[in-house]
Chain A
């Protein structure tokens, strides 16, 4: 696919107040490429949720974005503890977020459900002690 645009971002695991830089940059890029506001909103929210998760629940990682005319594909890969029970983690309201991040408004247990809601495809590959890979695709109406 010669007309794909590839973007790569490192996501720091140190400072979750900075999380959102990758999704913010992608949002800008999609806007300048003329994608629809609805598609941009869905990509940006799904990515932000995943980015925040990488920082809060893992130790950061990287994010690869492929922008095609008809879809946006994102891989978010972290070096965190992995997710023991993905089905449970996907449930609305399930959260292991610690108290310090809950006091900042995280920990509703709605991040993964939001990603599912806003993406057209979502897949989680996770290995305990190794990390988690989240693949998501948002289709763009043309």
Chain B
């Protein structure tokens, strides 16, 4: 499944558009950045409330497919700019991590 499929299936809002044809093979949830860098599998969709510039660095380093800001968590301006520069896809939903992850689990199966 691609990021594009994920957006359509889950009705996610696109905040920053990167490579929407990227594969999504896994899902990781976390707000502590070092935890995410240490544990998130590559090509994951990363669910978090951290919409600051450091999250973009972490997404790039951990090589996740996209970030989803859950519960309508905000994306700050610096982060948006950096995501644009690095082509990191940022999505948003009003759902919480649990509800979204349950749906993602069904999609990835």
Q: Give the contact stretch, choosing among B4-12, B48-56, B92-100.
A: B48-56
Is B61 within 8 A of A114, CB to CB?
no
Q: Number of contacting residues on B, CB 8 A?
A: 20
**Would you give the shortest CB distance from A9 to chain B, in whole angstroms?**
15
Q: Number of contacting residues on A, CB 8 A?
A: 25
**Would you give the shortest CB distance from B36 to chain A, in whole angstroms?**
8
A-to-B contact residues, CB < 8 Å: 16-17, 19-20, 23-24, 27, 37, 41, 44-45, 48-49, 52, 104-111, 113-114, 117
> CB-defined interface of B45-72 with A at 8 Å, one 1/0 digit per residue?
0000010111101101111000000000
> CB-defined interface of B25-38 with A at 8 Å, one 1/0 digit per residue?
00000011111011
15 contacts between A and B (CB under 8 A): A24-B60, A44-B61, A49-B37, A52-B54, A104-B54, A105-B55, A106-B32, A106-B33, A106-B54, A107-B32, A108-B32, A108-B33, A110-B38, A114-B38, A117-B38
For residue A23, which residues in chain B have a CB less than 8 angstroms away from its CB?
Answer: 61
| B78 interface residue (CB < 8 Å to A) | yes
Of all chain A residues, which has the CB nearest B32?
A108
For residue A52, which residues in chain B have a CB less than 8 angstroms away from its CB?
Answer: 54
Is B34 within 8 A of A106, CB to CB?
yes
